[in-house]
């Protein structure tokens, strides 16, 4: 296994403030990285991603998201959820894309060097890994995969010790024409929950289902069959809620339903299952034809709530605007809050903004991983942190775009402006003298209205702007101050 280490460092001067919120792009040189997961490892964050035709990377970030390192792995393509953590071991799951069947587990040491533990044999002519996990950092790793023999496509699950001995390896469900298992999730009862899309032999259309098995590979139950899935490749996302019920999302085919004639024909549908896999409720989202929602994934929260995230789009006046979004739901589906996000350096209508993964911190903050890319262009690795309300720690909770360096929740002695509301000119107080500042003025919707540099600014003129609410950012090399101003 060839491995190369690329080391980069980005350090922002350390300052003392009450909170630390950021919105950043991690420089990736010429690599076009598809970054899809963020893990908390050894008081760091690890981002996993793939690039090129058969390479993978781990990006390590410190807790403040200031310092980072890249580690690349040649001839090895990570699975969707590739990293399994034990108290004393770290194991990667993936394959070489240049080989039709090459599933394997790699041990990762402290120097990010790898050693092959074992290969995972499957049926079929082709296989591909989907995810891996463990139960309470125990002794075993559980992995899932999909395989194809040219006529049928099925899925399997295996268990192996962390030293590479395969314990069991099984295919599940019968009479399958084609299926895709998206990931495995460890339940609170220490079992494996497995959501998959499926087409059965002799039946028309794709369906969704959840399989629950124990740690020995024995089936506990299969859920009710959910019909009318858009297609077999439609992603099935699942979480176990704090009340032990199961919530999952799939794309529903309502193309022939007259109730949806003026709405998107393949919208997300929310399904609730009880802890035995029986369907208890379904909510189909009605999405206007000018809008769309793409759901990347979802995660259970630390309380009676969960998070759904991805990308939303809206088409206005022949322009399609794309935003990353996070929505926090109560267990019953009530919305607690929902926000959209962009990065100001890529604040254009032709840039995709996806939220791919997040971590809820112990204090309720969210550390978020996203991707940004123009249509057909290079992916940018996007990381940001918001508070428990989905905000950047400022007075305004509506803004979704901030500077690409630190945004700090200011202390009470930070700068202010008056009058506010204003008819035109606002006067600044508390700003340090003998400095050159960059001033950005954004609409409340996140559009950049004005930008300039000024030495020792004492006031800001909003007279040329329409009435409304504006976000003013005043930045030097160390910090960004954010103000919300009402223009009458």
Query: Of residues 431 and 135, which shows the higher confidence score?
Result: 135
Q: What is the mean pLDDT of residues 208-230?
A: 96
Query: Of residues 7 and 158, which shows the higher confidence score?
Result: 158
Beta strand 279-284 with 425-429 is unpaired
Q: What is the pLDDT of residues 4-53, one digit of tens each?
A: 333 333 322 222 223 468 888 888 865 789 999 999 999 999 999 998 88
Q: Does residue 357 carry a pLDDT above 90?
A: yes
Beta strand spans in 301-423 (E): 305-316, 319-330, 335-341, 351-360, 366-374, 380-386, 406-407, 416-418
Q: Which residues contact 203 (CB under 8 A, 6 or more apart)?
A: none
Specify whether the CB–CB gap between 436 and 476 falls below 8 A: yes
Average pLDDT of the chain is 86
Residue 189's pLDDT band, with cuts at 50, 70 and 90, is very high
Q: What is the pLDDT of residues 44-63, one digit of tens each?
A: 999 999 988 888 999 999 99
Residue 305's pLDDT band, with cuts at 50, 70 and 90, is very high
**Can you name the residues that pair with 24 across neighbouring β-strands?**
383
Q: What is the mean pLDDT of residues 347-368?
A: 92
Both tokens of residue 316?
């206005």
Secondary structure class of 345 (helix, strand, coil): helix
Where in the chain are the domains? Answer: 416-487
Question: 416-487 has which CATH code?
Answer: 2.60.40.3080
* Helix %, strand %, coil % of the chain (to 5): 0, 55, 45
Distance of CA 452 to the CA centre of its chain: 33
Q: Give me the residue label for tokens 């894309």.
A: 97
Q: What is the pLDDT of residues 93-111, one digit of tens each?
A: 999 988 999 999 999 999 9
pTM to 2 decimal places: 0.78
Share of the chain above pLDDT 70, in %: 88
Give the pLDDT score at 332.
94
Residue 414's pLDDT band, with cuts at 50, 70 and 90, is low
Q: Does residue 477 carry a pLDDT above 80?
A: no
Residue 479's pLDDT band, with cuts at 50, 70 and 90, is low
Highest mean pLDDT among 7-11, 361-365, 446-450: 361-365
Highest mean pLDDT among 128-137, 241-250, 448-457: 241-250
Q: What is each CA distance from 148 to 54, 178, 199, 485, in whole angstroms? A: 20, 9, 14, 59
Q: What is each CA distance from 118 to 28, 29, 96, 147, 265, in whole angstroms? A: 31, 33, 14, 18, 45
Give the pLDDT score at 404.
39
Residue 433's pLDDT band, with cuts at 50, 70 and 90, is low
DSSP string, 61-100: E-TTS--EEEEEEET-EEEEEEEEE-SS-EEEEEE-TTSS
Of the listed ranges 45-49, 77-81, 256-260, 412-416, the least confidently predicted one is 412-416
Q: What is the pLDDT of residues 145-156, one digit of tens each?
A: 999 988 899 999
Specify whether the CB–CB gap between 332 and 355 falls below 8 A: no
Residue 450's pLDDT band, with cuts at 50, 70 and 90, is confident
Q: Does residue 2 carry a pLDDT above 70?
A: no
């Amino acid at each position: 296994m060839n491995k190369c280490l690329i080391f980069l460092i980005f350090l922002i001067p350390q300052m003392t403030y009450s909170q630390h919120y950021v919105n950043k792009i991690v420089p990736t040189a010429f690599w076009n990285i598809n970054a899809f997961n963020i893990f908390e490892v050894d008081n760091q964050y690890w981002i996993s991603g793939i690039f090129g035709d058969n390479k993978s990377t781990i990006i390590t970030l410190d807790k403040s998201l200031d310092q980072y390192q890249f580690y690349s792995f040649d001839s090895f393509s990570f699975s969707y959820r590739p990293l399994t953590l034990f108290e004393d071991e770290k194991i990667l799951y993936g394959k070489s894309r240049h080989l039709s069947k090459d599933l394997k587990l790699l041990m990762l040491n402290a120097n990010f060097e790898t050693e092959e533990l074992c290969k995972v044999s499957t049926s079929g002519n082709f296989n591909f890994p989907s995810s891996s996990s463990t139960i309470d950092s125990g002794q075993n790793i559980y992995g899932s995969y999909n395989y194809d023999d040219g006529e049928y496509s099925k899925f399997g699950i295996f268990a192996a010790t962390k030293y590479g001995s395969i314990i069991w390896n099984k295919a599940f469900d019968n009479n399958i024409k084609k299926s895709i298992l998206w990931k495995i999730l460890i339940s609170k009862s220490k079992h494996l929950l497995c959501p998959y899309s499926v087409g059965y032999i002799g039946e028309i259309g794709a369906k969704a289902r959840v399989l629950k098995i124990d740690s020995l590979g024995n089936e506990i139950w299969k859920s009710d069959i959910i019909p009318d899935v858009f297609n077999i490749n439609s992603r099935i996302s699942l979480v176990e809620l704090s009340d032990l019920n199961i919530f999952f999302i799939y794309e529903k085919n309502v193309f022939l339903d007259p109730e949806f004639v003026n709405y998107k024909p393949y919208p997300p549908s929310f399904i609730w299952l009880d802890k035995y896999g029986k369907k208890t409720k379904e909510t189909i989202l009605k999405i206007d034809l000018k809008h769309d929602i793409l759901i990347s994934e979802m995660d259970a929260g630390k309380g009676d709530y969960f998070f759904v995230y991805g990308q939303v789009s809206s088409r206005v006046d022949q322009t399609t605007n794309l935003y990353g979004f996070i929505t926090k739901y109560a267990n019953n589906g009530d919305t607690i809050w929902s926000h959209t996000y962009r990065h100001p350096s890529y604040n254009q209508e032709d840039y995709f903004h996806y939220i791919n993964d997040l971590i809820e911190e112990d204090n309720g903050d969210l550390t978020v991983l996203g991707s940004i890319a123009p249509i057909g262009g290079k992916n940018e690795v996007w990381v940001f942190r918001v508070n428990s309300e989905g905000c950047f720690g400022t007075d305004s909770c509506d803004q979704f775009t901030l500077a690409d360096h630190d945004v700090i929740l200011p202390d009470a002695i930070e700068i202010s402006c008056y009058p506010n509301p204003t008819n035109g000119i606002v006067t600044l107080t508390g700003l340090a003298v003998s400095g050159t500042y960059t001033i950005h003025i954004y609409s409340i919707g996140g559009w950049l209205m004005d930008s300039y540099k000024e030495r020792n600014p004492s006031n800001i003129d909003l007279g040329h702007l329409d009435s409304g609410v504006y976000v003013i950012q005043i930045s030097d090399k160390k910090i960004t101050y954010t103000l919300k101003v009402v223009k009458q």
